[in-house]
Amino acid sequence: MSLKYTNTTADCLDWDDMLNLVRKLIQDNNHKIALFITLGSFWGLRVYDIKQLTWLLILDKNEIIITEHKTAKKRSIPISSQLKKFIADCYNNIKPICLNAPIFLSQKGTIYSTQQLNRILKQIKIKYKLNIKNFSCHTLRKTFGRQVYNQNPENAEKALVMLMDMFNHSSLAITKRYIGLRQEEVAQTYESLSF
């Protein structure tokens, strides 16, 4: 567990592992955290922006339009029909009192802090035996980035440029490092050497 206001690292979660985790959370009736992980992984938003989402903003919508807190950049994010159904299912199971309230409220009625969410994710990592070293809220954004890259092998450079813009990075090198490509490239370079 890191101290507040200190820098930490986060790793990507394999996409299939993320989907399996969400399914297990749903089976265990933990719809709120399943939704948190899903939205973070599917939309690539920063944790602050996810915590500000309300049911009114995402329920039965074809897209959300959000102004990112950190960059003040406006983003329009389409909501697929499958994700729309998943959001509706979570809503029906969570049964919130108010549509206009933030989705991610604790039992005390306050928005989860990032530290609380990180603690929850670390507990989930242990409980579900996830194969990831550093699992935190930021993992979800990195998981999104890695999946966008992996889904576009024939247009890898284009995917990196798109991610660089979405993440507001100043270079492709930063984006590659951010989604864990640099470590893989270095490892592959060493592995390619032989007698």
Domain boundaries, the chain: 15-146, 152-192
Tokens coding 165: 């813009």
- The Cα–Cα gap between 108 and 56 comes to 21
Return the minimum-mean-pLDDT range out of 51-55, 89-93, 109-113, 191-195.
191-195
- The Cα–Cα gap between 35 and 18 comes to 12
> How far out from the chain centre does Cα 160 lie?
17
- The Cα–Cα gap between 156 and 141 comes to 18
Confidence of residue 56 (pLDDT cuts 50, 70, 90): very high
| Helix ranges (DSSP H) in the chain | 15-27, 31-43, 47-51, 55-58, 81-94, 114-127, 137-150, 156-167, 172-178, 181-192
The model's pTM is: 0.86
Confidence of residue 92 (pLDDT cuts 50, 70, 90): very high
Fold of 15-146: hpI Integrase; Chain A (1.10.443)
Confidence of residue 193 (pLDDT cuts 50, 70, 90): low
